[in-house]
Amino acid sequence: MKDITPPQLAELIRQSRRVVALTGAGISVESGIPDFRSKGGLWERFDPWEYATIQAFEKNPAKVWVMLKEMDEILRHARPNPAHYALAELEARGHLMSVITQNVDNLHQAAGSQNIIEYHGNAHRFVCLTCRGHWPRAALDFDQTPLYCYCGGLIKPDVVFFGEAIPEAALYKANDLVINCDLLLIIGTSAEVAPANILPEVAKNNGAIIVESNLAHTRLSLYLSDYFLQGPAGRMWPLVLEQLKQITTQ
């Protein structure tokens, strides 16, 4: 694995035909959303096996909603940062096919990205576990939790809890994208959570170049990544975008 600079990465993106980004919690930290697993994250105060499994939610939804309301408060006040906007512009300029995101914060959408695979769902949507009906946030009273549907079923954020399957459409679309890409940009994730952690390996096994963009090296750096872009995503990706604009207008 070699280090790569923004100008070098811009040239690599220019030369590539099918570029896909895989994003994780690290891209949203600069938007004020702490990584759940980092110091100060939700998992420091809420044991995920007590609060983030579908079994825990069905058994004691009132308890789990204590965590969900705190998460909702954080996400409602978050705004896209320069990394989100840079990826949206890369897509608009035809350099990026799609973003596969493990995040549930809706920030890629808010920044203007169009082709987004929500691998773990979206916390701004809500769904009934029984009838699978969708509820707009404005129709729900967060002072009265747990939330129940007209059919009597429990309402939860439309995110993948531990113990739930990845939505089939997201699973197949993400796999198809990484199989067919020639450059995979891994931004703000160590790709340790299954089954998203297999996506970089699938891309690599099908001939893609892997560029990892993180604050520090991860396990991916040891055996999978071809290039490493070090630094905060919100600072590095606008630099890559600016370099790409320069070399495509010359």
**Residue matched to tokens 């809420």:** 46
Output b/e per residue, 52-64; b: 16+ Cβ within 10 A. bbbebbeeebeeb
Q: Are strands 183-187 and 209-214 parallel, antiparallel or unpaired?
A: parallel
Annotated catalytic residues are: 120
The closest of 235, 184, 249, 198 to 27, measured between CA atoms, is 235
Residue 48 has a CB neighbour count (10 Å cut-off) of 15
Task: Report d(CA 192, CA 220) in Å as an integer.
Answer: 9
Task: Report d(CA 193, CA 165) in Å as an integer.
Answer: 13
